[in-house]
């Protein structure tokens, strides 16, 4: 049987509907090994298959030349390797590529490749839309449609890997695309298991960051997973009244519960925490907030990542001016906080999550026709 979805890791093709085969990338290594055992095959075949897909970038069983021919055929009858396609892409002059990824049910998510020196970082989505409702963010404007599957998360990584030149490797992953990764934790962890495995993408968990709005029970589950991923917590405000305005889920949680859960993560994994702070002109960028932040964070081992707002069409928020940014920075630095002010990489291509999907048609070039 030939693949109705003819799509290698480099190309985009339409996805045939009505295909009942399972999505290979939704299986854990364990599940694939079990399937192979039932087919009378040794365990190591699972690693061979993963190696072909992620390291050799082959998405067609017939090309997996170290597998027995009969097995290749059985695999092909049972599994599809890729089910998504890149439906649009934009490249920015600073080396940032953004893809719009079309899912089998027609949904779309975004993912980004950032080139910085030798770093090749990717920003990956975990859900279609987002339920968290952060008032300044484009991803949640229409709420959440659904969780992505493990395989759909992994395919974003493959589609971005395919943009690399020969010899280049992905070096870092940030789960900072659309959606709340901790609201889809099992699938995110399943995908990251493959991303960090030797036959998968081989990326150390120390180079993988999971960003969360701050959901304490899921943060505790992540602590218990015992893998030293970097945890980034989107704080955006130093007190409950402002945070609840900007990040509505905070009303039911509260900033102290978020910080306590972050502390527990630090205690169990020993990884320095990152807090993210989107700087919104006239809203959370004043001396008052900077001083409160110093009080909140100075006793903790943290990096504060300040991100000047990337404006979203239709939303009333603005990027602070350079003077406000510089003053905010000074107060934090004088207070002894480790801060990084993130450059607005990719801003010319709507790299802030959720923007390409909304602006589709005006800036994006369609890959499907090319």
- Judged by beta carbon, residue 149 or residue 234, the one nearer ligand SAH is 234
Catalytic (active site) residue 110? yes
From the list 108, 110, 155, 276, the catalytic residue is 110
From the list 111, 134, 137, 353, the catalytic residue is 353
Given a contact cutoff of 8 angstroms between Cβ atoms, the answer to whether 87 and 368 are in contact is yes
Catalytic (active site) residue 108? no
- Judged by beta carbon, residue 200 or residue 214, the one nearer ligand SAH is 214
Tokens 């978020």 belong to residue: 258
Among 138, 288, 271, CA closest to 209: 271
Cβ at position 13, least distance to ligand SAH in Å = 29
- Site residues for ligand SAH per CB under 6 A: 132, 134, 136-137, 176, 180, 211-213, 234, 276, 278, 307, 309-310, 312, 352-353
Tokens 């953004």 belong to residue: 98
- Judged by beta carbon, residue 155 or residue 180, the one nearer ligand SAH is 180
Cβ at position 134, least distance to ligand SAH in Å = 5
Cβ at position 45, least distance to ligand SAH in Å = 36
Among 186, 181, 84, CA closest to 131: 181
Identify the H or E element spanning 2.
none
Residue 17 CB coordination number (10 Å): 9
Alpha helices (runs of H) in the chain, residue ranges in sequence order: 29-38, 44-50, 69-78, 150-161, 185-196, 216-225, 240-246, 250-253, 255-269, 287-297, 322-334, 355-359
Query: What burial class does residue 160 get, using C-beta atoms within 10 Å of its C-beta: 0-12 exposed, 13-18 middle, 19+ buried?
Result: buried
- Judged by beta carbon, residue 22 or residue 264, the one nearer ligand SAH is 264
Cβ at position 253, least distance to ligand SAH in Å = 13
Cβ at position 211, least distance to ligand SAH in Å = 4
Q: Coil, strand, or helix at residue 250?
A: helix
Residue 71 C-alpha from the chain's centroid: 33
- Judged by beta carbon, residue 54 or residue 309, the one nearer ligand SAH is 309
Catalytic residues: 110, 353
């Amino acid at each position: 049987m030939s693949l109705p979805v003819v799509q290698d890791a480099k190309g985009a093709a339409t996805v045939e509907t009505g295909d009942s085969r399972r999505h290979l990338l939704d299986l854990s290594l364990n599940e694939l090994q079990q399937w192979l055992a039932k087919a009378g095959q040794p365990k190591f075949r699972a690693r061979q298959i993963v190696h072909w897909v992620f390291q050799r970038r082959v998405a067609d069983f017939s090309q997996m030349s170290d597998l027995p021919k009969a097995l290749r055929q059985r695999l092909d009858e049972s599994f599809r390797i890729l089910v998504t396609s890149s439906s649009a892409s934009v490249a920015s002059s600073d080396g940032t590529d953004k893809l719009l990824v079309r899912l089998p049910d027609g949904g779309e998510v975004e993912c980004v490749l950032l080139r910085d020196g030798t770093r090749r970082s990717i920003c990956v989505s975990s859900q279609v839309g987002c339920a968290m409702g952060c008032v300044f963010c484009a991803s949640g404007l229409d709420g959440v449609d659904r969780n992505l599957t493990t395989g759909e998360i992994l395919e974003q990584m493959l589609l971005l890997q395919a943009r690399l030149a020969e010899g280049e490797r992905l070096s870092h992953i940030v789960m900072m695309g659309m959606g709340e990764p901790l609201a889809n934790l099992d699938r995110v962890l399943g995908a990251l298991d493959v991303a960090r495995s030797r036959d998968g993408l081989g990326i150390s968990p120390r180079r993988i960051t999971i960003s969360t709005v701050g959901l304490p029970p899921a943060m505790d589950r992540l602590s218990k997973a015992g893998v030293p991923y970097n945890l980034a917590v989107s704080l955006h405000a130093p007190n409950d009244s402002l945070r609840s305005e900007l990040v509505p889920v905070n009303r039911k949680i509260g900033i102290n519960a978020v910080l306590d859960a972050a502390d527990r993560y630090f205690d169990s994994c020993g990884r320095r925490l990152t807090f993210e702070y989107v700087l919104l002109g006239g809203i959370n960028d004043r001396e008052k907030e900077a001083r409160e932040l110093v009080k909140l964070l100075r006793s903790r081992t943290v990096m504060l990542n300040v991100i000047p707002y990337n404006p979203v069409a239709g939303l009333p928020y603005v990027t602070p001016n350079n003077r406000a940014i510089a003053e905010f920075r000074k107060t934090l630095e004088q207070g002894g906080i480790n801060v990084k002010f993130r450059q607005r990489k990719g801003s010319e291509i709507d790299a802030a999550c959720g923007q390409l999907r909304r602006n589709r048609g005006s800036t994006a070039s369609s890959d499907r026709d090319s």
